[in-house]
Structure 1
């Protein structure tokens, strides 16, 4: 279990609950989002907290297992009495939490998944921050088409996350009047690269949109390169982490990753300047896309708590977030209202260079 603040004074007055994959195949990117969360929450607590109350984030490891995510959320709600849930990771894992929200009248803030099921139909207790996976995959296909790459394949994990990304990609294919040369499902735990890679090569794919965990996608890219294929690989923002780049090893150069936040080096955005200043003061934080997702998500959470007033309850937090029409994150505006829990609507693309840096 991880705490989000390490200051000594008194107890934490505001308890926030999180279930996420601290260990397992997405641990690298989860770890980076937590760095961003802690960077912001620590700064808030160092200034006295919110309305004079400290914030404590209780993080439980679900090991990237959906049933455990549900069990963790139940414990956080019923035993730890948290006032809100925050930044669950992945689609089926977050789906396991949904029944608990309505039963307990508790908000889920900034789920770290862009699945459309959390956008439509609108769940009044889910407050998204990041854009949707469908928007990412649709833009990815359209971008490949503009590059003249029209023989595009798709490999996706065989779960609700993968199906959601496929739905977005098909929008892109329809918009460009293309058809995928292959759509291949991959086991979430043990992708069969020995079958997947030869099929991609046989179909003469110029590019592949590969959807899965950072381990699954990085191993897939390495398997492609080992087979002598130079086809373009694109993946989505769940892999927008330095950890993913490291996992790619010698195969890192040229992999495209869609992004749901502006480049962390774009200092025209005040949120980036704020994070950079706090990282410099901390001395141990390196800013990455995943760090910025955690940082931005924590800002939305804190603003909701601030608007809920002293001694926030679950009901007050939901009401405060529901009426947050226009909140400037620092060059990016988040807003919620009746029938709208989308948060940001921002998608960009990056390419990883030979040094493992994300370039726009």
Structure 2
């Protein structure tokens, strides 16, 4: 009976044939968030490797990725092109909170999967409102809540300032910090500054935050603005304790331009392994990743962004494998919401991927990590998102 069921008639959605699965992607190959383009480049290389080894159930992944320059209107244009012209089965790994927010309602109206969104905003893990959108990384609200709790646990009450981008990323972070600080938020959160990602610089905002007398700074910003913040803090001679969103912890593209010495001591939250940390040199998952990068992307950095893309590509492959020959849009969403205890080599030990029909947050655990001037060092217990 099992073999008869397996041999049942194939079910295909748009973009699927006996030999191909079309998957769409939108990434900032240009613009203020262009450092994140390495995520999409890594995914493309991973799918090429999968295709060279025979594909998934005999089908090759046709990965179609377009640039949106981190511009929401451009993201909408590219999403429409991928769905209406390219006729992809699904969008996968589209990068950025603003871009994904701009296309989310459209994707759900069209009933096209918006898979493993490249953002930790809470709105991408809301199956009741958006059943065709599923997140990927730990959400920003809980990440910030963890920082707030850590700040609150210190011996002396901190005076906290936060700089955040004016979108769902920043607003989730602000709410999370307030929740983590608890009752102390009323007195400890002494300054807030928001900025637009279209702004050329945020240096003046840092001056104002320093003037508040804050001794702790929370940075909720994408790569370019995270670098600007760390550098500006150092130039002002300000020495606050700093907490940095895990979307901006890449050493080579964020911290080096800001000055590694300036970044020393920054705290973040990690769920994936850092290729620069010598602790993972003999780790099988890290060795496999480094071999992949050397062969398929030898000119690119082994950093936080390439790790991110590698992990996302792996989870899409797992989802497509679970679909078998039922490659409809409905089933790909059902399988994305049916990932049970999936272990991936570049996740920190003890962290697994889990989803369910009412749970669209694949990764819900993280660990605090501190930059030592060269690499990130994890400390403390694994912290649960729920």
TM-score (norm 2): 0.81
Is 1:138 aligned to residue 145 of structure 2?
A: yes
Question: Deviation string for 1:156-211 (max 9, x for gaps)?
Answer: 11222211111111111117666311112223222764542332222221111022
Measure the CA separation in 2 of the matches of 1:136 and 1:324: 22
Alignment partner of 1:170 is 2:189? no
Q: SS of 1:205's equivalent?
A: coil
SS in 1 for 2:365: coil
Root-mean-square deviation (CA, aligned residues, Å) is 2.6
Q: Give ranges in structure 2 of 5+ residues lacking alignment.
A: 1-17, 379-386
> In the alignment, is the contact (CA less than 8 A) between 2:120 and 2:136 conserved in 1?
no
Tell me if 1:60 matches 2:66. Answer: yes
CA distance in 1, matches of 2:330, 2:314: 20
Asked whether 1:352 is paired with 2:371, we answer yes
Partner of 2:137: helix, strand, or coil?
coil
How many residue pairs are counted as aligned between the two chains?
A: 348
* 1:277 Cα offset (Å): 3.6
> For residues 184 and 82 of structure 1, do their structure 2 counterparts lie closer, same or farther at Cα, with a shift above 3 Å needed?
same
Map 1:103-122; keep pairs closer than 5 Å: 103-120=109-126, 122=128
| Partner secondary structure for residue 337 of structure 1 | coil
How far 1:36 sits from its partner (Å)? 3.5
Q: Is the 8 A contact 1:260 1:346 kept in 2?
A: yes
Equivalent in the alignment of 2:267: 256
| C-alpha contact 2:271 2:365 (8 A) present in aligned 1 | yes
Gaps of 5+ in 1: 1-10
Tell me the residue number matched to 1:187.
196
Matched, 1:239 2:264: no
Give yes or no for the alignment of 1:208 onto 2:217.
yes
Name the SS of the counterpart of 1:328 in structure 2.
coil
Asked if the contact 2:370/2:377 (under 8 Å) is kept, the reply is yes
Higher relative contact order (CA 8 A, sep 6+): 1
Instruction: Choose from 317, 326, 336 the match for 2:355.
Output: 336
> Residue 87 of structure 1 is aligned with which of 66, 73, 93?
93
Candidates 136, 143, 157, aligned match of 1:129:
136
Q: Distance in 1 between matches of 2:253 and 2:205?
A: 24
Write out aligned runs for 1:24-63 (5 A): 24-28=31-35, 30-63=36-69
